[in-house]
A and B are shown apart, each in its own frame.
Chain A
Amino acid sequence: MAIFYVLLLFMIIAAITAIETKNLLSSVICIGAVGFGASLMFLFLRAPDIAITQIVVEVLGLIILIRATISRDLTFITGDKEFFGTVVSVVIIFVIFLAGVKVFETLPDFGTAVFAETPGAASQTYISEGLAKTGAANIVTSVILDFRAYDTLGEATVLFTSIIGATVILRKKAKKLLEEPE
């Protein structure tokens, strides 16, 4: 249980460093450290599927960010912070923190399965009947591709539509790459 708090502290320190530093390369590396800490946290919370996906997408996102910032010769952030905006943000965060302290006392411990104690929960049905009904040993895959396959169909549609949108917008610059060779 102590490993959760150590990783949480690591992620918070990396996030604050990413905001406060003036060098863009350091900022991008700190963002990568936050994603790496999240992947370790998923591994210790016994969710290896999400940990694999998180670390691979984090590496790809880091490559995109580094190529986008370093190659344009922008390595330093300039400009001042606004005073009024900072004061309003601090006041709102303090009010939400006071309300959150009351809510956090009623939640169970970090990392426990909440639905395992609820009677008639769907998760217990998936665990007990997953292998018999679908034949897959990985219960997570049997949930996302058999019991709840509509959600995966919707997610694939969203990814497809966003890629079409991005290709249409970037088409003007990459016009000769997307034409058929004669």
Chain B
Amino acid sequence: MLQKEEISNGAKGMTIIVKTIASWVKVLIVLFGIYIILFGHLTPGGGFAGGVILASSYVLLMLAFGREFVQKNMPLMLVSKLDCLGALLFALIAILGLVFSGVFFVNFLQKYLPGWPLKLLSAGTIPLSNIAIGLKVGASLFLVIFLLSTFRRDTSANR
């Protein structure tokens, strides 16, 4: 049965078995998330699913090790800046289409540097858009889940 004290005091984390397994599994989850984002133009997936997978690896760390460990490892200011960086990159790709070809949001790399179809270097600006979207979605969801978990009824956890 779940221990209520260990779960309600989320700042300290779980038992040592959970911590050991989580530290092995998080590498696989991050690798899988990066694969889904990068190969989004060849296999099913794309930026949104890959971003959520990246966020869920950090949620696993937050559940297993506690909030203070994750706050030292990846401070919330950095996460917020990564979120803004992803959104700005996406808007920058759209504006660069206007600069290079006169039409807003056109796939300008596909016109000038086509690449080889069905390989990794193809499809113009689509992989770059996938990376920007993945960064943005992952950082946003991790920020919201972390902030929601500090919002508790008792005030002893956020002193």
CA distance A146 to B122 in the complex (A): 13
User: Is B41 touching A156 in the complex (CB atoms < 8 A)?
Assistant: no
Tell me what chain B mostly uses at the interface: helix, strand, loop, or mixed.
Answer: helix
0 or 1 for each of A127-169: is its CB under 8 Å from B? (1 = yes): 0000101111110111011100110110010011001001100
User: Is A60 touching B56 in the complex (CB atoms < 8 A)?
Assistant: yes
User: Is A137 touching B118 in the complex (CB atoms < 8 A)?
Assistant: yes
Contacts of B52 in A (CB 8 A): 53, 56-57, 60
B149 lies within 8 A of chain A by Cβ: yes
A93 lies within 8 A of chain B by Cβ: no
Contacts of A150 in B (CB 8 A): 105
Tell me what chain A mostly uses at the interface: helix, strand, loop, or mixed.
Answer: helix
User: Is A173 touching B158 in the complex (CB atoms < 8 A)?
Assistant: yes
Among A3-11, A64-72, A84-92, the one that faces the other chain is A64-72
B-contacting residues, A35-62, CB 8 Å? 48-49, 52-53, 56-57, 59-60
Contacts of A135 in B (CB 8 A): 110, 114-115, 117, 122-124, 126
B64 lies within 8 A of chain A by Cβ: no
A-contacting residues, B30-80, CB 8 Å? 36, 40-49, 52-53, 55-56, 59, 63, 71, 75-77, 80
**Can you list 6 A-B contacts (CB < 8 A)?**
A68-B148, A73-B4, A136-B122, A140-B46, A141-B40, A163-B143
